[in-house]
């Protein structure tokens, strides 16, 4: 096998690999000799089949394996001898002339093929001692804890049937059957029977609950409402709907008691312990948001520190994934780029910059992790897998088996763990100060589209694009508030 470099331009490399006819013959003969001891052919005793006969029967199929093995060997040889780190799998190109391939399959002529690849850029990690970041931190106030517990008490309170002929009031629980239509046609998720709805809870789409105040058991009402523009099921967003509603029961709420007995219904020994648990839970949400904002600030800082050539294929792959998601979103919402106040050309440029940023930061974080010898243990992956399995009650074994048999799926669990470890390592190199803020300030940028985009994993070579399926299984579409 003779390997010759034919191109070295930026991050692109090309090599020509030559396999002489005599080498092909040797490889083919070796493979057939191995096959001879295993082949079971009628008329021949095991191990006694002539190689010439095997060649006549299986020569070309075995030669195809020989060529594939040669490709794998050539790739390994190129990477090892040139100390290359590949961005993507090499592209292999054999001669276009069929006659050349045919003669190679018969080991009657030399054959050559081209190996084109892209390598990862080399760059030095920069000093981050001049980077200063501020971490916004918020602590749950007593009012926020009390508000959460009040909601818990309200959801846990008892309801009792109202007297016959009584009209429903705000705060009552009504049981309803309904059929929803858009432009006169029933839609998926728009039908429900025996659905309990607490009036004034905001559980259903805007305007729905208010139109049931004053209804009595047995009443039939036509409720008109509009799905929000930002509704989760894109095919319903912004649509006007009409519901035929029948009220089958009305219950009045009992007294809301916030005491030790309430705490016990939630598995706590006292109200004080319940408040502590709620405060801890809210604090965890605050810390997660604080971490998201700090991470974005860190990535912004890193992005200003590095400028190097990016593998075109990685950028193209990342952009393709992002763009597919953008187009799917526009299609599902029946919107155009003009509706979003831009043009396809401007949007393309914008999302290409996002793709380039993700690839660049992914390469930086990967090199930081490699340099620092950051590892993700099997136990950490198992813990992540267990957490994922618990998200699918009733399907635990299937989900477990899927991940255990799918190396790529396991890698997707490992990647965010690795990334968070790398982020912690980098944060230890910068000057970090904490700034106490209110909940409102901490969550002020939560709906920022760019923040949401940049908050995704930077170490992934491509962004996962997933289409919304509309509603949660078992819930009517109207019951989704957003």
Q: Rounded to 5 degrees, what angle do the CA atoms 256, 258, 264 make?
A: 115
- Beta carbons of 181 and 454 less than 8 angstroms apart: no
pLDDT at 444 over 50: yes
Q: What is the pLDDT of residue 104?
A: 67
Please write down the long-range contacts of 27-35, taking CB distance under 8 Å and 24 or more positions apart.
27/66, 27/69, 27/70, 28/55, 28/59, 28/62, 28/63, 28/66, 28/107, 31/62, 31/65, 31/66, 32/58, 32/59, 32/62, 35/62
Query: May I ask the CATH architecture of the domain 263-479?
Result: Orthogonal Bundle (1.10)
Query: May I ask the CATH architecture of the domain 158-254?
Result: Roll (3.10)
Where does the pLDDT of residue 147 fall: very low under 50, low under 70, confident under 90, or very high at 90 and above? Answer: very high
Between residues 144 and 60, the one the model is more confident about: 144
Q: CA 61, 63, 64, 69 torsion: positive or negative?
A: positive
Give dist(CA 74, CA 94) in Å, integer.
13
pLDDT at 39 over 90: no
Q: What is the pLDDT of residue 465?
A: 26
Max CA-CA distance within the chain? 99
- Beta carbons of 176 and 192 less than 8 angstroms apart: yes
Chain position carrying tokens 């919402």:
333
Q: What is the mean pLDDT of the chain?
A: 86
Between residues 39 and 363, the one the model is more confident about: 363
Between residues 219 and 189, the one the model is more confident about: 219
Q: CB-based contacts of 271: which residues, under 8 Å, 6+ apart?
A: 258, 259, 260, 262, 263
pLDDT at 480 over 60: no
- The ranges assigned to domains in the chain are 2-118, 158-254, 263-479
Q: What is the pLDDT of residue 433?
A: 96
pLDDT at 169 over 80: yes
Give dist(CA 409, CA 413) in Å, integer.
7
**For 152-167, what is each residue's pLDDT tens digit?**
998 888 899 999 999 9
Where does the pLDDT of residue 223 fall: very low under 50, low under 70, confident under 90, or very high at 90 and above? Answer: very high
Where does the pLDDT of residue 214 fall: very low under 50, low under 70, confident under 90, or very high at 90 and above? Answer: very high
At residue 102, φ and ψ (nearest 5 deg) are -60, -45
Q: Could you tell me what percent of the chain has a pLDDT over 70? A: 88
CA distances from 84 to 76, 107, 118 (A): 10, 31, 9
- Beta carbons of 77 and 1 less than 8 angstroms apart: yes
- Beta carbons of 435 and 134 less than 8 angstroms apart: yes
- Beta carbons of 205 and 480 less than 8 angstroms apart: yes
Q: For residue 426, what are its two tokens?
A: 């980098």
pLDDT at 448 over 60: no
Query: May I ask the CATH architecture of the domain 2-118?
Result: 2-Layer Sandwich (3.30)
Chain position carrying tokens 């800082």:
301
């Amino acid at each position: 096998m003779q390997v010759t470099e034919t191109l070295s331009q930026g991050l692109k490399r090309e090599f020509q690999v030559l396999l002489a006819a005599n080498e092909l013959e040797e490889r083919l003969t070796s493979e057939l000799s191995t096959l001879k001891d295993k082949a079971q052919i009628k008329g021949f005793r095991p191990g006694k089949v002539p190689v010439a006969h095997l060649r006549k029967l299986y020569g070309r199929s075995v030669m195809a394996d020989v060529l594939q093995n040669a490709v794998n060997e050539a790739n390994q040889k190129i990477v090892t001898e040139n100390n290359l780190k590949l961005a993507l799998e090499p592209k292999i190109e054999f001669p276009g002339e069929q006659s050349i391939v045919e003669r190679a399959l018969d080991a009657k002529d030399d054959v050559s093929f081209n190996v084109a690849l892209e390598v990862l850029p080399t760059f030095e990690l920069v000093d981050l001692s001049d980077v200063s970041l501020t971490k916004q931190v918020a602590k749950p106030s007593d009012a926020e804890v009390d508000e959460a517990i009040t909601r818990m008490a309200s959801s846990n309170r008892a309801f009792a049937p109202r007297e016959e002929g009584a009209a429903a009031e705000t705060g009552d629980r009504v049981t309803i059957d309904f059929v929803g239509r858009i432009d006169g046609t029933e839609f998926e998720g728009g039908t429900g029977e025996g659905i309990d709805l607490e009036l004034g809870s905001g559980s259903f789409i805007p305007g729905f609950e208010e139109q049931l105040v004053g209804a009595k058991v047995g009443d039939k009402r036509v409720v008109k409402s509009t799905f929000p523009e930002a509704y989760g099921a894109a095919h319903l967003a912004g649509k006007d709907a009409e519901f035929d509603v029948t009220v089958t029961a009305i219950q009045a709420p009992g007294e809301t008691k916030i005491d030790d007995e309430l705490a016990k219904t939630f598995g706590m020994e006292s109200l004080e312990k319940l408040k502590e648990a709620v405060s801890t839970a809210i604090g965890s949400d605050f810390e997660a948001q604080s971490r998201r904002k700090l991470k974005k600030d860190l990535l912004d800082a890193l992005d200003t520190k590095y400028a190097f050539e990016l593998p075109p294929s990685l950028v193209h792959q990342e952009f393709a994934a992002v763009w597919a998601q953008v187009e799917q979103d526009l299609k599902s919402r029946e919107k155009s780029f003009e509706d979003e106040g831009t043009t396809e050309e401007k949007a393309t440029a914008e999302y290409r910059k996002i793709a380039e940023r993700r690839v660049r930061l992914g390469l930086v974080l990967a090199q930081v992790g490699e340099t620092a010898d950051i590892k993700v243990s099997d136990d950490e992956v198992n813990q992540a897998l267990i957490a994922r399995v618990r998200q699918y009650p009733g399907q635990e074994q299937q989900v477990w088996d899927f991940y255990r048999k799918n190396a790529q799926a396991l890698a997707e669990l490992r990647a965010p763990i690795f990334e968070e470890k790398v982020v912690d390592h980098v944060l230890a190199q910068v000057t970090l100060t904490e700034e106490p803020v209110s909940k409102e300030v901490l969550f002020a940028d939560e709906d920022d589209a760019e923040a949401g985009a940049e908050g995704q994993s930077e170490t992934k070579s491509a962004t996962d694009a997933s289409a919304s399926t509309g509603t949660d299984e078992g819930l009517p579409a109207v019951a989704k508030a957003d």
